[in-house]
Amino acid sequence: MKIIIPSEYQPFEKLSICSNVIIGAGAIIKIGEIEPILVGKGLKLPAIWLRARVNKNNWISVVERSVSKSPQIQIENDIITNTTTIKTNNIIIVKAQQYHSECIITNLDLRPLGLNIFGDNNLLKVGNGEFRGNTMQGVGAFIGINE
């Protein structure tokens, strides 16, 4: 299943995710050919796309360009702080703040979307692994999982 990056997606020059930094922004997470989360530049707020895993071979889009495609997903935009927060059942799935050509993701929890990936300001947990304070440049994906 080949997923095409949305044409309106514009990567950030620098993306910080749970204390880790991606410069020259590649994918945050890639599972096979799927990128379950994309965070790109918006006019003032981050543009976010999210996919939920239905089963091993099937994914559904639940957020496209920071617009919910599911009644279970709520989106809060704060134009004063340039922050977008996406929630389900009061669980923050992603909280991202845009600063010109940079974005900082302070909270991430993809467990409600079927993935054991979550983190906060201090670290990112992927399965049993922890990522803290790393800087990557020119990578295709910060986290790559083959299936």
pLDDT at 60: 94
Q: What is the pTM of this model?
A: 0.93
Contacts of 105 (CB under 8 A, 6+ apart): 15, 16, 17, 18, 39, 94, 95, 96
**Mean pLDDT, range 2-12, rounded to an integer:** 78
Per-residue model confidence as pLDDT tens digits over 75-99: 999 999 999 999 999 999 999 999 9
Contacts of 23 (CB under 8 A, 6+ apart): 13, 14, 135, 136, 137, 138
CA-based Rg of the chain, rounded to a whole angstrom?
Answer: 14
